[in-house]
Chain A
């Protein structure tokens, strides 16, 4: 008899604990209670769609940037899709012209997650000016050079 009572009591305790835990976990996500830390500013200003799905970027953006960083630095591969410049060009706040600052896209989220990115101790946090936008300049420059090389080769002249 004593054993049955003990088992019931144990079961009850476990159930109560579980319920309490669930209730606690749930209370943080009901959306009504103000969060202890203000939510980050996730506003985007340009474009409809990020280079990868948003959920993927939230979890893995640093892997993409890190991979691109090594490809560009060591191999000279300069695709823009996963480059830090590309992030900044889209996500910079048009008012401050930066991804930093209290409501900046990078900084507000990293403050929320208590992570300190050190990209901007070296890299510019401002978008490139439209005139220098590499997407427009590079292919034209490359085309011009290629055309010049062909001309040179055909005419047999060197500058």
Chain B
């Protein structure tokens, strides 16, 4: 390779960097390092295509395995971070199923009512319970319009390392924050893609180039209970 080739390659590289649609190359290449705090430059969200979601419960099983919220066979009190909801149109008889979990609202009612600050929204939009501060009053459970939160009624053993759980605290979907912080995607989305019907997409709602943002821009979607103006991070299509 002679001098001219090297210069040519250099110029091509510079041109590619400037002209490629990835003008935000540097920002994209920087996945968050462990010592970096989550910022409001991102907002994590989910898009669920109800028309693709079928009869399976891959997402529920995956979430249970990932976060270890296996119950005691007592549905009234067992924790449930994600569940399949069946919608039936009474007039036409049309039946649809979709997964429902914490909707990671921008203005979460659970955070409004929490008396201790245990219920909080992280800078990147993930709504969590700080169980160190939670006193188990369950106001958040009453405030949540999606009934997404559960109270742990019984002693827990053999917790997962990344999902501590304990009696007397409230918990809900964390959007698999431990995976997201490591650059991954939630367990439900992964399972839906692998074993399910590929109905779920996870991504950054603020990144116009992300698949989720592009799909949201392309077709109409809806929030559940839009009348509450909660600006949910989980959106649905084709309901």
Contacts and interface: CB of A to CB of B under 8 A. Distances in A.
Interface of A: 69, 71, 73-80, 85, 121-124, 128, 132, 134, 137-138, 141-142, 144-146, 149-150, 152-156, 158-159
Interface of B: 16-17, 20-22, 24-25, 28-38, 120, 122-124, 128, 130-132, 155-156, 158-161, 164-167, 169, 177, 181-184, 209-211, 214
Contacts of B214: 158
Contacts of B33: 142
Contact of A74 (B130, B160, B165, B166): B130
Nearest to B25: A153
A16 to B, nearest CB: 52
Q: A-side binding surface: helix, strand, loop or mixed?
A: helix
A156 B166 contact: no
Nearest to B132: A69
Contacts of B130: 73-74
A122 B161 CA distance: 10
Contact of A152 (B28, B128, B167): B28
B93 to A, nearest CB: 37
Contacts of A128: 161
B211 to A, nearest CB: 6
Contact of A76 (B17, B38, B160, B211): B38
Contact of A77 (B16, B34, B128, B209): B34
A7 B28 CA distance: 84
Contacts of A76: 32, 37-38, 122-124, 177, 181
B29 A150 contact: yes
Contacts of A159: 211
Contact of B34 (A79, A124, A150, A153): A79
Contact of B156 (A71, A122, A149): A122
Contacts of B120: 74
A154 B183 contact: no
Contact of B131 (A122, A146, A150): A122
B196 to A, nearest CB: 18
Nearest to B126: A76
A142 to B, nearest CB: 5
26 contacts: A73-B130, A73-B132, A74-B120, A75-B38, A75-B123, A76-B122, A76-B181, A77-B36, A78-B182, A79-B35, A121-B156, A122-B169, A123-B164, A124-B159, A124-B161, A128-B161, A132-B161, A134-B182, A142-B32, A146-B29, A146-B31, A149-B28, A149-B31, A154-B16, A154-B17, A154-B25
Nearest to B37: A75
Given A79-B35, A138-B182, A156 B28 contact: no
Contact of A124 (B24, B25, B128, B164): B164
Nearest to A134: B182
A99 B142 CA distance: 37
A156 B209 CA distance: 10
Given A122-B169, A149-B29, A77 B164 contact: no
A156 B158 contact: no
Nearest to A127: B161
A142 B179 CA distance: 11
A118 to B, nearest CB: 8
